[in-house]
Structure formats: C-alpha cells, structure tokens
Amino acid sequence: MNKVKRTHIFNLLNKKNPSPTTELIYKTPFELLVAVILSAQSTDISVNKATKKLFAIANTPETILSLGLKKIKRYIQTIGLYNNKAKSIIETCKILLEKYNGEVPDNRIALEELSGVGRKTANVILNTVFGEPTIAVDTHIFRVSNRTGIAPGKSVLEVEEKLLKHVPDVFKRDAHHLLILHGRYTCTARNPKCGSCIIFDDCEWKERKKHIKH
C-alpha cells in the first residue's frame, strides 16, 4: 500500500471519528492502568462493569493495597484470569508506592517493570495518558493492519513497527484508537461489514479475499 492510500484511509477514519479514545472508563492514570491490566483477553464491557464497583471502593495504590488480594478478587472474578490479574495489580501498587510516590510513570522502561504490564499495555498508557504517538497492537489492530494492507506483518511487533513507519505523523497519536474502533465495529474478525466500510475503496483485502479463508 502506498503513502497516498494510507493517508486517505486515515483521513476517512478521522473524519468519521475525529476524537477517538478508549472505551475503558477511567478518571485517573492509575484507574486506566488497572483497567488495561484487567482488559487482557477480556472485553472492555466486562472490565468496565468490574471497575465501576472496584473504583467506587478503591482507586489508588494505597486503597487497593488496603483492600487486599482476596477482596480485589471478589470485585474482578467475572473477568478472565482474575487470579493472576489481582496479584499483578497488588504488585504494581507496591512498586508505584515504593518507586514513584504512587504515580503512574511516563516512560516505557518504568512501565514495563510493573507487574502485568508488557509492551502493549505500556503503549496504551503512553498514548492515552501522556499523549505519545505510540501504537499498541491488539488483535483488532493486527487484523485490520494485515487485512487492509496498511501495515502487514507476521508478528505484533512487526505490525507496530510498520505502523509507526507508515502512519502519517498527524494521525500517529490517534492511530491506535482509530484502528481498534474500526476493527471492533466494522472490520470484524467474522463477517466484516465491507458494505458499510468507509475505507473499502482503498482496502486491499477485496483484491485478495478470494484466496483468503475468513
């Protein structure tokens, strides 16, 4: 896919959704960090239901630690892998208090030292909280990038690197949310809504889909 096509695609996505953002509900950087940790292999809807109750009781590192592991598990037990996620949240709270005065750090190295935080989660925090032009590649973005031809790659890291290289600078800050929302509601894994897709004319999938099983 050439630069002209990519630019046109992001212009269209941005026109449809000029202020894209996460669908996770949060009020502070710490709340978003917890929500993103919980969101691994879980839907934003399920996370929001759990955090609505959790954050009403505890929404800082101090109050989370005071709540304790067993009680945290009760609040998030409807979320997949909740046992491990509860432990990660507890450990992350300890690190935040010991090293960062309870604040969420604004650099990748520090973020990835937190329990339950990998490259994708760090990218989400850097982008959504601190406004950095990072692009966290989840299953939706990986699918859209490969299917459309925007940034094809065999691995998450390869797709991320190609997106950072090819997405026009003006759209890099919003690219993560533009692509994830497009993948979530239009370019779905099964039965993508090509008939109502605003970027269909520029999408390269239609040229290949005869040879793709979907």
Number of separate domains in the chain: 2
Low-confidence ranges of the chain (pLDDT < 70): 206-214
Shortest CA distance to 162 belongs to which of 177, 148, 170, 151?
151
Separation between Cα atoms, residue 66 and residue 206, nearest integer Å: 54
Residues 167 and 124 in one domain: no
Q: Are 135 and 127 in contact (CB under 8 A)?
A: yes
Question: What's the pLDDT score for residue 205?
Answer: 85
Question: What's the pLDDT score for residue 214?
Answer: 43
**Who contacts 213 (Cβ-Cβ below 8 Å, separation ≥6)?**
none
Question: What's the pLDDT score for residue 43?
Answer: 93
Q: pTM for the full model?
A: 0.90
Residues 105 and 63 in one domain: yes
Q: At 119, which CATH number?
A: 1.10.340.30
Residues 11 and 35 in one domain: no
**CA angle 65–71–76, rounded 5-degree value:** 100
Question: What's the pLDDT score for residue 207?
Answer: 64
Residues 200 and 147 in one domain: yes
Residues 34 and 79 in one domain: yes
- Give the domain range for residue 93: 29-128
The string of pLDDT tens digits covering residues 16-32 is 999 999 999 999 999 99
Question: What's the pLDDT score for residue 149?
Answer: 95
Question: What's the pLDDT score for residue 212?
Answer: 46
Could you report how far apart the first and last alpha carbons of the chain are, in Å? 21
DSSP codes joined into one string, 41-61:
TS-HHHHHHHHHHHHHH--SH
User: E-strand spans in the chain?
Assistant: none
List the catalytic residues: 120, 138
| Domain closes at, from 76, 98, 128 | 128
Residues 108 and 154 in one domain: no
Residues 156 and 88 in one domain: no
